[in-house]
Structure 1
């Protein structure tokens, strides 16, 4: 892990934009399905997730599959643990009760959180699970506001629920006057109808990226960062972090310019 952090720091320093060359607010976003911090060795290791956040130094983090006080993580509050490790503000959006605790999406922010809420997403398919989006409004330097959301769409092969979920997210954010970033595990491939639906409203900051799952030998791109109010954004940089152990997904990083 120490070698990984060193490599990440070199990569980020090599690709970081020169702030003097851009006008606007540069925002770095990390999206990561953390699999309740169970790594590819079958061990629950929340510090492994914290190390990725510390090494990549994002401003906003969207996490999926976060546990809160479940038995399988020994009643740990995983988001609080990450807050303590990173010094970031947090919000947990519980999607369902699970194993004696809660399970859902989390966000971390370097910016103060002005407002937070969760959007329940439709889940009617046989074998489906409750899904949601955890949404925060943050105050950026200069006192402008930004909405940021972490979401995790349905996992079933049948896309019916994902289509309904993406439609609800589109409807919710389409009339928003604030700039919006929504990131997460959409459980859908780039050519799918679900992703096409989201791109009717959002700009795909990860459009040029490759697969993110499974983390050891990824073959499918499931993780995305989308931007609403498209004309307000410029994508400076985006990449998949070559992390193969900490979770079954690889993290996605985007450096964005809010004009």
Structure 2
């Protein structure tokens, strides 16, 4: 009887330990979806959602998303992806486009406590920084300009935002910059890049790494990092998704 009790209590403690551990596990994805248009030039939001659902991320930074544009047949793309993935959404419009809006978005299993966005520089088109606060962390979603000067200014603005925040801060998105560029060098002064340096663009035959996920250096400890990889998805968009697994402190 005593042995059974000890076995039972051990099982309870192990289950409790695993439950607490899993609560702190976080899988982050960044995915430039090109508005659901694949390399075959077909628009298919279900295909985009299937890529996301296959890897069960807790949070996804999504770039190049239309909102009720003529191009998307007046469909609210992020809302449809939210329904198809069963995740909460937040949309950050960057510009007026084709009768609607065009910008970045967020999908998350946990409902954000607070969301906002702010303009970032972009001389070819306006850019935007998406900000979402959760219980244990803050998430920043970006799609930076194609111009290096604008990119560096954007990194400065992200660092200014970081200085205001007390929780762990992740930043993820399409930076349009290579790993050894001045832009990523500036990012690394305040953030630890967690994502793989494997190429992410173009999706069918990747030759450039321009999509990243990073964690602020105040929070980063090597024991928190679990895994990172670029998803082998050559068709659903012109970018491949990037995934990072971490354990929150």
Counterpart selection for 1:256 from 222, 225, 246: 246
Deviation at 1:22, TM superposition (A): 6.0
Within the candidate set 197, 212, 218, 2:206 is matched to 218
Matched, 1:101 2:100: yes
Q: Does the 8 Å contact 1:203/1:226 carry over to 2?
A: yes
Question: Does the 8 A contact of 2:179 with 2:197 survive in 1?
Answer: no
Aligned length: 231
Residue aligning to 1:241: 231
- Aligned partners of 2:137 and 2:64: how far apart in 1? 24
CA distance in 2, matches of 1:131, 1:43: 26
TM-score (norm 1): 0.85
Q: Is the 8 A contact 2:121 2:145 kept in 1?
A: no
Contact 2:174 2:212 in 1 (8 A): yes
Give deviations 1:41-86, integer Å, cap 9, x for gaps. 1111111110011100000000000111011111110110011111
Q: Secondary structure at the match of 2:226?
A: strand
Other-structure match for 1:153: 144
The partner residue of 2:176 within 183, 187, 190 is 187
Unaligned runs of 5+ in 1: 1-17, 140-144
CA distance in 1, matches of 2:200, 2:34: 13
Deviation at 1:167, TM superposition (A): 1.1
- The Cα RMSD (Å) is 1.8
SS at match of 2:134: strand
Residue deviations 1:173-208 (CA, integer Å, cap 9, x gap):
1342111111000000011010011111111011x4
- The structural deviation recorded for 1:135 is 1.2
TM-score for the superposition, normalised by structure 2: 0.88
